[in-house]
Amino acid sequence: MTKDEPATIGAVKWVIVETATGKTISKGEKSLRVSDVTISTKSDLYEKQIALPEKFYFSLCDNATRDKEPNDGFGLAGGRYGEEDFSWDWFQVDRTGHATKLQESGELSFDTKKTQNGAEIHRMEFLTDVSIRISRVTGESPLKPRWRVNILKGSFVNWTP
C-alpha cells in the first residue's frame, strides 16, 4: 500500500436475492475503505451504511450515546435506494463479543471502541452467513421479504477505523 491509498477497513462478500423468484440480483465481494461507510444519526441512534451493487445497502444501527459496552443488542438493516422499504434484523448479545440473530439464524462476533460518542461497535465479523430481510412498506410482511441481502461468513467490517 502506498501513502496515497486509503486503508482497508474490511472485506464483505454478499449475495442479494429476490425472494419471490429466488433470482440472484447481485453477488460479489469487495474490500472496504473508510469512504465506503456513510454515517447518519437519528435521535439516539446512528446508522453506518455500506452501499452494494444494484442500489442495495446494508447498515449497522446502534445507540449513539452509549457510555458502556452493548449488553442488549443492536440492529442490522438493509435497503434499496429509491424504494420505500423496511428492514430491521435484531442481534441479541448473548455473551461478551458475541451476538445471535433474534429471528432466523446468524452469528456475529464484535468488539467495541471508546469514541467521543461513547462505546461504539468497532469490529464485526460474520461467523455464519447472515440474511438481512428487506420488505416494501406497501403492506408486505417482514416475514415474507421482497429481497434478502445475504452477508457471507468471513466478511468483516471495522466500523470505527
Give the model's pLDDT for residue 69.
60
Is 66 inside a domain boundary? yes
Residue 65 to residue 103: CA distance in whole angstroms: 26
Give the model's pLDDT for residue 3.
57
66, pLDDT greater than 60: no
pLDDT band at 155 (very low <50, low <70, confident <90, very high): very high
Is 2 inside a domain boundary? no
Domain count, the chain: 1
Is 60 inside a domain boundary? yes
**Between these two residues, 75 and 5, which has the higher pLDDT value?**
75
62, pLDDT greater than 90: no
68, pLDDT greater than 60: no
Instruction: Give the range of the structural domain holding residue 127, as residue numbers without chain letter.
Output: 8-158
Distances (CA, A) of 112 to 52, 116, 119, 136, 160: 25, 13, 6, 32, 9
Mean pLDDT, rounded, of the chain: 89
Segment 62-65 long-range contacts (CB within 8 Å, at least 24 positions apart): 62/120, 62/121, 63/118, 64/117, 64/118, 65/117, 65/118
Give the model's pLDDT for residue 89.
94
Is 3 inside a domain boundary? no
Give the model's pLDDT for residue 1.
45
Q: How many CA atoms lie within 13 A of 82 on its CB side?
A: 4
Is 1 inside a domain boundary? no
Q: What is the pTM of this model?
A: 0.90
- pLDDT, one tens digit per residue, over 6-54 is 689 999 999 999 999 999 999 999 999 999 999 888 767 788 999 999 9
pLDDT band at 67 (very low <50, low <70, confident <90, very high): low
